Amino acid sequence: MNPDYGWGTKDEDDRTVRFSVDRRDVEATGSIQKARDPQYDPATGTVKPVGSLGPWQAAIIFITNEVGIGILSLPAALNVLGLIPGIISIIGMGTLSLYTAYILVQFYRRYPHVVNIVDYGRIIGGKPLEVIFAIGFIINLSLISASAVITMSIGINTISEHAACTVIWIGIACLACYLLCLPRTMMFVSHCGWPCTVSIVAAVIIPMAALGVSGPANAPPGSSIAIKLVGNPTFSEAVSSFLNIGFAFTGNQAFVTVLVEMRDPARDFTKAILIEKPFAIAIYTTVAIACYCLAGEYITSPAIGAAPVTTAKISYGIIFISLLGTGLVFGHTSIKYLFVVVMRHLSFFERRSSPLRKRSRGVRGGNRKPSVEADMMRRRQSQPHDSRSVVSWIAWIAIATAFWILVFVIANAIPVFNSLLNISSSILLAWFTWGFPVVFWFHLNWKKMFSTWKKTVLVVLNVFILAIVVFMNTAGMYASVDGLLTIFADPDGEVNGPFTCADNSIF
């Protein structure tokens, strides 16, 4: 093969990796340089601008992505597990999520033509694994978006004192998130991240202050606060609480979509996660300890419910901004992935029918099957960075509409906050946050796993992470479904099935 038909980058071991370029692409573009440029747009014949996000903008998106509704369940998790096991779980899961996030950029350095985590699956398992990743990715982000919508319905019911059917409030929340997802740029998401971050911090500080002044609202007069250093939960309770902690750190699956929008992702992504992950661990630990120590066994999930009525209403009013940001980030990520898939197919048909492509089929080597790298690079070339055609806007709006209709259905089918968090954590979040990155690591290091003592230690660490994921996936699913069925079967409970108008407010 002519050496000019390749391009390279540096992986984590500072070795040059070559990527072959199909000769047909060179003939079609008229330039070797264009054919091997991952930013080349074959539809317009121009080189697309590089991403616009720096490390701080990306870090803000990551914070909006991760520091959200999960924080509201952490104090109750400490009440179940106990103060010491709960703190260890929060710090431990956060540290492991930082490690697995770093694996994502290691993989990107080896394969810089990827544009989302589904492309990672295609590299390690071909088309079949890509389809599995795609289905899981969409369902996963839909469940997270549904949990944000349910939390908004809880807040609206709390503030309005259940002025309308809960299904209506869920529909309004979905509509608001849908409208926010219509702008297509990631920079818009970054700008929205600042008020969302301030919102979640303020929304938990206010009830913390109220608990410190007046104590938990649901505690009997004259009662004392009991703090458990080590809890004594049942198996289902312990697993459910552990899943709630895991849910708080499950933003990694959306990080790749942001990574490819950065100006220098191979270098700046590490900076961004080193800003976001320690911030998330610190605020999670602080809020969980403070709320639990101030409310004790009277803490609720979401934690705002333990505060006095007026304070809780104020907090829910403030946290709406953050919840809308959660819906925006995860909804935008899902829509962007589906949009790229649709536009790739449209670009494929356009290129197949172009006269230049037809003339290139007769050249020597024109019938050669393209390499995996060449195939993936053409897929990146068809990523619609800033297309403003009518077709692209119709596709974006149609996909956004379908996605939020799906979220509306899920939110009404599983209308319980904790159960939705646990089910999403156990089915998919554990794999996308910890499990699949470990698989990516083994793919990158398969031939050198035991080459040094450091690699051997990492092998042991990754096997340990996989064991945690399998536990969350099996025992976690059992505990989640068992808890949900118990709630539905409770004769004294108002939430007794899907699509219910029952009041889900915290009072």
> What span, in angstroms and rounded, lies between the C-alpha atoms of 158 and 473?
33
The yes-or-no verdict on residue 181 having pLDDT over 70 is yes
pLDDT tens digits along 156-180: 888 888 888 888 999 999 999 999 9
DSSP letters for 437-470:
HHHHHHHHHGGGTTSSHHHHHHHHHHHHHHHHHH
**pLDDT of the residue at 466:** 93
Q: Distance of CA 114 to CAs 105, 111, 264, 292, 372, Å?
A: 11, 6, 14, 43, 12
- What's the chain's average pLDDT? 77
pLDDT tens digits along 447-482: 888 888 899 999 999 999 999 988 888 887 777 777
The yes-or-no verdict on residue 250 having pLDDT over 70 is yes
The yes-or-no verdict on residue 436 having pLDDT over 60 is yes
Q: Please, which pLDDT band fits residue 273 given cuts at 50, 70 and 90?
A: very high
Residue with token string 């209506």: 168
The yes-or-no verdict on residue 492 having pLDDT over 70 is no
> What span, in angstroms and rounded, lies between the C-alpha atoms of 135 and 170?
24
DSSP letters for 65-96:
HHSSGGGGGHHHHHHHH-HHHHHHHHHHHHHH
Identify the burial level of 324 via C-beta atoms within 10 angstroms of its C-beta, where 0-12 means exposed, 13-18 middle and 19 or more buried. Answer: buried
Please report the domains of the chain, with CATH numbers, ordered by start residue: 50-218+225-351+372-489 (1.20.1740.10)
Asked if residue 105 lies in contact with residue 255, where contact means CB atoms within 8 angstroms, the answer is: no
> What span, in angstroms and rounded, lies between the C-alpha atoms of 266 and 259?
9
